C-alpha cells in the first residue's frame, strides 16, 4: 500500500442502535486507514477520536461540511458534555468549537460552549458567548446554566445584567435559597430594592422612642410656684400673688 492509499480515508457507519441511542444520523464517517481499531473498540466507539478524524477530513474537504452538519454537531455536543462532566473544560471547549463550526446557529451547543469556557477560567470568552445568547430573540437554555452565567456577570462587575438574567429564572427556582441570595445580591449591587424570598416577611421599620422635650426655664419655675403656700390653692402660672388669699407666690 503506497502513501496515497494509506492517506485515503475509509468510511464507517455507526450501528443502527448506536445512532438511535445517541440521536445521530446514520451516515458514514471518515477514518484514516489504520486508525479504525483504535476508534472502534470492543468496549465501544471512541467518539472523541472519531471527531478528530472528521475534523481533519473536513479541513481537506470543506465543501462537505453541510453533509456532516447534524452528525458532527451532535457528536461534538456528546463528547464535550462528557469531558466537561469529567472536569476537562478546555478539551470540552475544543469539541464544542468543532460543533459550532458545523452548526453555528445551534444555541444549545453555544450555551454549553460558554459554560465550558467559564469552567476553564476563560472569563472574557465566556462572557462574549453569553452576551451573544442574550441578544437572541428566543433562547431555551437550562436555568442552571443561566445562574452560572449570572454569577460570572456579577463577579465581572456587571450586576445589572446578572439581575436581568436571574429575574428570568425566578419562576423556576421557588425554594432554592442560594438562588435567592444571589438574586438579592445582584439587586442590591444594581441599586434595586432588596428582594424578599418567598415566605420572607418584610421587617417593620425601626421606631425610635420618643424623647420628651426639656422644659424651659420659666416653665420649670412656674410649675413649682403655681400652688399657694399659704392657702394651698392653685394660682395662675405667671401670677406673683395668690388670687384667693393675696399671699406672695
Cα–Cα distance between 111 and 114 in angstroms, integer?
A: 5
The pLDDT assigned to 1 comes to 47
The pLDDT assigned to 178 comes to 87
Residue in 72, 27, 80 with CA at minimum distance from that of residue 54: 72
Higher pLDDT, 76 or 245: 76
Mean residue pLDDT across the chain? 84
pLDDT at 218 exceeding the cut of 50: no
Read off the pLDDT of each residue in 209-221 and give the average, rounded to a whole number: 54
Residue in 93, 171, 92, 106 with CA at minimum distance from that of residue 139: 106
Query: Which of 16-20, 80-84, 204-208 shows the lowest mean pLDDT across its residues?
Result: 204-208
Please list, in sequence order, all residues whose beta carbon lies within 8 angstroms of the beta carbon of residue 188, skipping any fewer than 6 positions away: 194
pLDDT tens by residue, 29-77: 999 999 999 999 988 899 999 999 999 999 999 999 999 999 999 999 9
Residue 9 β-bridge partners: 32
Q: What angle do CA 146, 151, 153 make, to 5 degrees?
A: 90
pLDDT at 163 exceeding the cut of 90: yes
Cα–Cα distance between 99 and 229 in angstroms, integer?
A: 105
Name the fold adopted by 142-196: 1.25.40
pLDDT at 22 exceeding the cut of 70: yes
The pLDDT assigned to 177 comes to 83
pLDDT tens by residue, 168-202: 888 777 677 888 899 999 999 988 866 555 555 55
**In a 3-state reduction of DSSP, which class is residue 241?**
strand
Q: Report strand pairing: 40-41 vs 9-12.
A: unpaired
pLDDT tens by residue, 79-121: 999 999 999 999 999 999 999 999 999 999 999 999 999 999 9
Q: Which of these CATH numbers, 1.25.40.10, 3.30.70.270, 3.30.70.3040, 1.10.3720.10, describes 3-136?
A: 1.25.40.10
Domain ranges of the chain: 3-136, 142-196
| pTM for this predicted structure | 0.72
The pLDDT assigned to 85 comes to 95
pLDDT at 127 exceeding the cut of 60: yes
The pLDDT assigned to 83 comes to 97
The pLDDT assigned to 248 comes to 64
pLDDT > 90: what percent of the chain? 56
- Calculate the alpha carbon distances from 245 to 225, 232, 238 in Å: 15, 10, 16
Inter-residue contact 93 to 113 (CB < 8 Å)? yes
Amino acid at each position: 500500500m503506497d502513501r496515497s492509499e494509506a492517506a485515503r480515508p475509509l468510511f464507517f457507519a455507526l450501528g443502527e442502535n448506536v445512532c438511535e441511542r445517541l440521536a445521530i444520523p446514520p451516515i458514514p464517517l471518515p477514518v484514516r486507514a489504520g486508525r479504525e481499531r483504535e476508534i472502534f473498540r470492543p468496549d465501544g466507539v471512541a467518539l472523541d477520536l472519531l471527531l478528530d478524524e472528521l475534523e481533519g477530513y473536513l479541513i481537506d474537504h470543506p465543501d462537505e461540511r453541510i453533509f456532516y452538519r447534524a452528525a458532527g454537531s451532535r457528536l461534538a455536543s456528546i463528547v464535550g458534555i462528557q469531558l466537561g462532566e469529567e472536569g476537562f473544560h478546555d478539551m470540552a471547549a475544543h469539541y464544542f468549537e468543532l460543533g459550532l463550526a458545523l452548526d453555528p446557529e445551534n444555541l444549545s451547543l453555544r450555551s454549553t460552549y460558554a459554560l465550558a469556557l467559564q469552567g476553564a477560567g476563560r472569563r472574557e470568552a465566556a462572557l462574549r458567548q453569553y452576551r451573544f445568547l442574550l441578544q437572541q430573540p428566543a433562547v431555551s437554555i437550562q436555568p442552571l446554566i443561566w445562574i452560572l452565567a449570572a454569577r460570572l456577570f456579577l463577579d465581572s462587575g456587571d450586576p445589572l445584567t446578572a439581575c436581568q438574567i436571574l429575574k428570568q429564572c425566578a419562576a423556576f427556582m421557588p425554594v432554592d435559597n442560594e438562588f435567592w441570595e444571589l438574586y438579592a445580591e445582584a439587586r442590591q449591587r444594581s441599586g434595586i430594592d432588596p428582594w424578599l424570598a418567598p415566605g420572607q416577611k418584610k421587617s417593620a421599620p425601626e421606631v425610635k422612642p420618643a424623647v420628651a422635650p426639656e422644659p424651659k426655664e420659666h416653665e420649670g419655675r412656674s410649675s413649682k410656684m403655681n400652688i399657694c403656700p399659704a392657702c394651698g390653692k392653685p394660682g395662675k402660672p405667671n401670677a406673683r400673688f395668690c388670687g384667693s388669699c393675696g399671699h406672695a407666690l
